[in-house]
Structure 1
Amino acid sequence: MDSLKRELLARRQSLEKAIEKAVDVISAAPEGTLRIDASKGITRFFHMQDEKTKKVYITKDNAEVITKLANKEYAEKVLEKAQKELREIDRYMSMIQCGNADMEYSKLNDTRKNLVAPILLDKDTSISKWNSQPYERSTNHPEHLRFKTRRGEMVRSKSEAFIANTYLDLGIPYRYECALTLKSNVLIHPDFTILDINHRRIMYHEHLGRMDKPEYVAEQMWKLREYQKNGIFIGKNLIVTFESEEYPFDPERFRNEAREIFLG
């Protein structure tokens, strides 16, 4: 809902600017409308003061009048549509300020909550339920889990610890190495499974931390192909970060990217 509000406010601002510009165009134009007649390959322009008066031919010397009248009629159509859309946005914004369907479950007392199956959940309740669900973690090479996050879990590198702490700082719910069974019946464990609450979707984050190791790169390329086969694509619902000895992980850049993706 927060992202929807931001989009509506941005659209509202755009419409207000368009309305202001349209009014300026209309005010600067002559009275009347433009009539265009085209026959035998010749286009002629006429000025109609109103429906009752005769059309007046506009000579080439008065090209500015033609342009202003054409822009005026276009601006009038834009103005009408923009004002209508603006009224609809204001009406909807007013409605959601008074509460929305997402909040109805959270208003129930505990007894009723235990009796109903939620249809829509508000942001906080969705996060709470997702965080409380148990999940299967990877058991591969537990000896490599040597770095502790601020949430108390052990991860495999300093970079992964920073990533986990960044998600925690930004209030972005995540699971570390949560089991994921793909449609091809392949079991993998994405480094991070993320609840993108603003867009109501699950995303995955793979941190490829040994890009200077050929065998490691080949293994990760296989995993990325498996993701693609299952509708998980970089730039859509998969985040991929990289590092090698020559090109270390950039923490600040990642923080900015995470903020833009999940909170922007």
Structure 2
Amino acid sequence: MQFKELISPDKLVSVVQAKAEELLAAITTIDKRLRKSIEGRLRMARRKKLVHYFHVKSPADIVGDYIPQSDVATIKALAQKDYDKCALKELQRELFIVDKFLKEYQPERLNAVYSNLAPERQHFVQSVHLPDEEYAEQWLAVKYSGKGMAADAPLLETSRGERVRSKSEVIIADTLDRLKIPYRYEFPHQLKVRRNSRGRGVAAAIDPAGAALRNPQVNPPDDIRMQSRQPENFCRQGDGSRNLQGSPSENFCRQGNSRKHDSSRRTVAFHPDFTYLNLRTRREFIWEHFGRMDDSEYIAETLGKFETYIANGIFPGETLIFTMENQERPLNPATVEALARKYLL
């Protein structure tokens, strides 16, 4: 079972640093505005239902010069100046606190407690937070069964010697490997799909799969394998597959068994092209590549797959990345790298 960290990867420093930059930028802007502001301050006096404005030009001047209601520019300039002076003090106070925090908060010291141990001692210690390299090793060491290759499938291998199904998948895998982003190829994810109107366990959102089950002559998409058992039986098997959040499937299933069984849905093993790990956030992402977007049946299957992912809480841009291509517009390696850097680094 993969190690579960008690402390999540530190995000506080980057957030606070960004806040410090915002505060400094705001202080600079307001300070420049105050330097160019007109002399004096604004005084207001309410008489019955009317508000009168006065321009107080010196500390000795208590009343100030009356400002006509028509002179909106002067009223606005003085009101802004008074606000800016108060806001500047608060911004400077916040920046002082933030700078002090950044100097004193050193999360790397906690990591050093474990990394400074001798390897022989580390073997017996459960750290509250693992170094990225060790976390990646444990994540990659998870055993699973992929889909396998047909005997007549073309021989296409990635830079790490892994066999894949298309040249585009080679591009994706090699790009992520070059960027040192851990991935699993065709790792199974247990998803819920709707049964069809006849009550059989059909991925109703994915029409080709449903058609295959209704008609034995039609083969289902090769990344969908219907489980022959009900979800409860599958859970008891404990095959080590994991859901997208990285928790063991048996834990997920134990939670599910405590709920009322939903007869309208069935558990299906999806084998997306890639499952990637963002080491910075410890989040897993599914990466699907749709390579035949000029085939109408393939497009229908793709749309159904999107519906299934969304129904299971897997949303594009959050935990789902996808790329597409057709005969006229092949996959652009620059697009792959841009997506990887955006979501996985």
Aligned-partner SS, 1:182: strand
Structure 2 match to 1:185 = 267
227-236 vs 28-37, which deviates more? 28-37
CA contact (8 A) 1:211 1:243 kept: yes
Equivalent residue for 1:80, pick from 82, 89, 95? 89
Which residue type is aligned with residue 151 of structure 1? R
Alpha-carbon spacing, 1:162–1:75, altered in 2? closer, same or farther (3 Å): same
Which residue type is aligned with residue 182 of structure 1? L
CA contact (8 A) 1:146 1:157 kept: no
Alpha-carbon spacing, 1:51–1:121, altered in 2? closer, same or farther (3 Å): farther
1:220-239 to 2 correspondences below 5 Å: 220-239=302-321
132-141 vs 95-104, which deviates more? 95-104
Equivalent residue for 2:25, pick from 17, 21, 37? 17
Alpha-carbon spacing, 1:200–1:70, altered in 2? closer, same or farther (3 Å): farther
Distance in 1 (CA, whole Å) between partners of 2:162 and 2:274 is 13
Alpha-carbon spacing, 1:46–1:133, altered in 2? closer, same or farther (3 Å): same
CA contact (8 A) 2:277 2:344 kept: no
38-47 vs 254-263, which deviates more? 38-47
Distance in 2 (CA, whole Å) between partners of 1:41 and 1:246 is 72
Structure 1 match to 2:171 = 162
Q: Report the identity percentage.
A: 35
Deviations along 1:16-58, one digit per CA (max 9) or x if unpaired, are 2211111122233345532345666644322345598235422
Alpha-carbon spacing, 1:151–1:39, altered in 2? closer, same or farther (3 Å): farther
Deviations along 1:176-213, one digit per CA (max 9) or x if unpaired, are 11111125522111111111112221111000011122
Distance in 2 (CA, whole Å) between partners of 1:147 and 1:114 is 38
Distance in 1 (CA, whole Å) between partners of 2:331 and 2:91 is 46
Alpha-carbon spacing, 1:252–1:45, altered in 2? closer, same or farther (3 Å): same
12-21 vs 132-141, which deviates more? 132-141
Alpha-carbon spacing, 1:38–1:175, altered in 2? closer, same or farther (3 Å): farther
Q: Cα distance, 1:64 vs. partner?
A: 3.9
| Greater RCO, CA 8 A, separation 6+ | 2
- Asked if 1:197 corresponds to 2:205, the answer is no
- Asked if 1:219 corresponds to 2:301, the answer is yes
Which residue type is aligned with residue 301 of structure 2? E
Q: Cα distance, 1:125 vs. partner?
A: 2.8
Which residue type is aligned with residue 13 of structure 1? E
Alpha-carbon spacing, 1:191–1:59, altered in 2? closer, same or farther (3 Å): same
Alpha-carbon spacing, 1:135–1:45, altered in 2? closer, same or farther (3 Å): farther
Aligned-partner SS, 1:222: helix
- Asked if 1:175 corresponds to 2:257, the answer is no
Q: Cα distance, 1:261 vs. partner?
A: 2.6
140-149 vs 164-173, which deviates more? 140-149
User: When the two structures are superposed, what TM-score results if normalisation uses the length of structure 1?
Assistant: 0.84
Q: Which runs of 5+ in 1 are unaligned?
A: none
What count of residue pairs does the alignment treat as equivalent? 263
1:61-76 to 2 correspondences below 5 Å: 63-76=72-85
Deviations along 1:148-191, one digit per CA (max 9) or x if unpaired, are 11011011111100000100111111111111112552211111
79-88 vs 28-37, which deviates more? 28-37
User: When the two structures are superposed, what TM-score results if normalisation uses the length of structure 2?
Assistant: 0.66
CA contact (8 A) 1:26 1:75 kept: yes
By percentage of residues, which structure has more helix? 1
Which residue type is aligned with residue 126 of structure 2? A
Aligned-partner SS, 1:115: coil
Alpha-carbon spacing, 1:42–1:161, altered in 2? closer, same or farther (3 Å): same
Distance in 2 (CA, whole Å) between partners of 1:53 and 1:231 is 64
Alpha-carbon spacing, 1:4–1:158, altered in 2? closer, same or farther (3 Å): farther
Structure 1 match to 2:254 = none
